Amino acid sequence: MDKFFNTAGPNKPDIHYTLLPKDRVNWTELSGLIDANKYFILHAPRQTGKTSLLINLMHFINGQGQYRALYVNIEAAQAARSDVASGIATIVSAMGRAADIYWKDPSWSQLAWHEAQQAATQGKDSLTAVLQRWSLASDKPLIIFLDEVDALVGDTLISLLRQIRAGYAQRPEAFPQSMVLCGVRDVRDYRIHRPDGEIITGGSAFNIKSESIRLGDFTQNDVKALLQQHTDATGQTFEPGVLEEIWEYTRGQPWLVNALAYEACFRKPEQRDRSVPVTVEQMRQARESLILRRDTHLDQLADKLREPRVRHVIAPLLAGAPGAEDLPDDDIQYCRDLGLIGLGRPLSIANRIYREIIPRQLTWSTQETMVQEQPWYVAPDGSMDMDKLLSAFAQFFREHSESWLQRYAYHEAGPQLLLQAFLQRVVNGGGRIAREYGLGMGRTDLFLQWPLTAQGFTGPMQQVVLELKIQHKGRAATLAAGLAQTARYADQCGADSAHLLIFDRDPQVSWDDKIYREEHTLDNRAISVWGM
């Protein structure tokens, strides 16, 4: 069977292009923690390769012969919620099934089945018991990898953490030498709500943690190596610029890298002619297809946007908040753990695809219900009539902004989101909109590309810059800063035309004063200014 780029479930090296998971972590550090009897956390955003890594490590460790390692996925216990007896029974049963699959010795699983029955009927500390009995029966110290730990909720999660903590002092003779708890979040971000209203943090329930290791994204060399595996297997090459394009879109997020490559190389029959190199334009089309289709990974990402802790961080980024924001450190770290924002400073959305999908997702229903049609704004020569489009938006914003903006949980970025919904509704399927925004920028940058011929994006294009600013310090100061920013961005993009939109949120100012149109020139660059 031919190999392909994997976008679902753990990697299987016999059918998937695969970067060895063990090479993606500092094995010296990790093996040192295991040798030192440490219990630690491995966390990373969803579909980053955690499960592939843990299974690979289990096989690697077992192959070395010093320890007996086992990988266990305990996500099924989530359904038990605060029913501790049911939840622990499910976890212990999962351990038994894993022992059957990976250790292939029924004596291990029989211990687990017995303890699972005890847990289900009596609510006993069966997790501690089975780990203790396994450790005493084993001729080698045990290493246990528990995956999807942070999927658990309520008292079931508390019981799991405390039962592990209860046996910790008996390691390695009567309890596993090392345990690794794996999930999206670090244990410090576990927020456990008990039925009595008490909130317990994971750190307090599991204070035996020695380290938290974050599985990183691919490096640019990793992406290059993955693409090279496809070239080696099929002979199909990638034209210059493809690697850089993938890197700019994904910043190494593993699922996005694989999804883009699969979309460009395998999705359609005509893409399977291996004598034709994969082009930059194919990668751009692949990106748009992923965004429009909203595959599972992107849907999960969008679901997180509803959480208050996420909204506190993402909203000022979308709004291009001009100054330092008083954002809770825990919320920032939580968004980093989810993979929504990058690891560096200043704060920014993690990659270009997320930068596209987040505003689109937040305005999806707005786009679907907005009565705007693309043909209304296409000029006879095939170009997008930006004057007509922005005049229509100004009137739309005047008539509907109050009612429409109330629909957004992200009120700080309401005007920017509403304009993007309007543009996306008009441009959708014909052109492309690239977005630039982030904390401290003081604006949101939009770059519209509109094909002018039947050649599509490989032919001549109309290129338009739109700069969005919220008026904070008076019209004159906002205008001066906005003109400089717009001219700079337009020159950077090589735009044919440039527009600066200034939103006045002061409810005391009349709409007649807010709505205006002016023409300015800065550094030989003509800029249309639209007051809203």
461: which DSSP letter?
E
How confident is the model at residue 44, as a pLDDT?
85
What is the CATH architecture of 21-214?
A: 3-Layer(aba) Sandwich (3.40)
Residue 193, φ and ψ in degrees, nearest 5: -95, 115
Burial track 160-198 (b if 16+ CB lie within 10 A, e otherwise): bbbbbbebbeebbeebbbbbbbbbbbbbbbbebeeeeee
pLDDT along the chain (532 residues), means of 10: 87 89 83 93 86 92 96 93 88 92 87 72 80 92 94 85 92 95 76 55 58 87 96 95 95 94 87 87 90 74 83 86 71 87 83 89 82 91 95 92 79 87 88 84 88 88 94 89 94 94 91 94 94 94
pLDDT of res. 480: 94
Contacts of 85 (CB under 8 A, 6+ apart): 119, 120, 121, 122, 123
Residue type, position 435, single letter: R
> Looking at the chain, how many residues does it have?
532
The residues near 39 (Cβ < 8 Å, ≥ 6 apart) are 164, 168, 178, 179, 180, 181, 208, 209, 210
**Residue 32 in tokens:** 């040192």
Name the strand (E) or helix (H) holding 55. Answer: helix 50-64
Please provide the CATH number assigned to the domain covering 220-293. 1.10.8
Task: Report DSSP letters for 330-388, one per residue.
Answer: HHHHHHHHTTSB-SSSS--BSSHHHHHHHHHHHTHHHHHH----GGGGB-TTSSB-HHH
Distance between CA 358 and CA 171 in Å, rounded?
A: 46
| Residue ranges per structural domain of the chain | 21-214, 220-293, 330-531
142 with 176: CB under 8 angstroms? yes
| Cβ proximity of 42 and 118 under 8 Å | no
Cβ atoms 4, 17 nearer than 8 A = yes
Beta strands in 74-177 (DSSP E): 142-147
d(CA 411, CA 306): 13
Residues 388, 360, 372: CA angle, nearest 5 degrees:
30
Question: Which pLDDT score, from 0 to 100, does residue 54 have?
Answer: 93
Helices 352-362, 280-293: inter-axial angle, 10-degree rounding: 30
**Among all chains, which residue has been given the structure tokens 């943690």?**
209
What's residue 324's pLDDT? 53
| Cα–Cα distance measured from residue 325 to residue 440, given in angstroms and rounded to the nearest whole number | 9
Structure tokens at 243: 């690697």
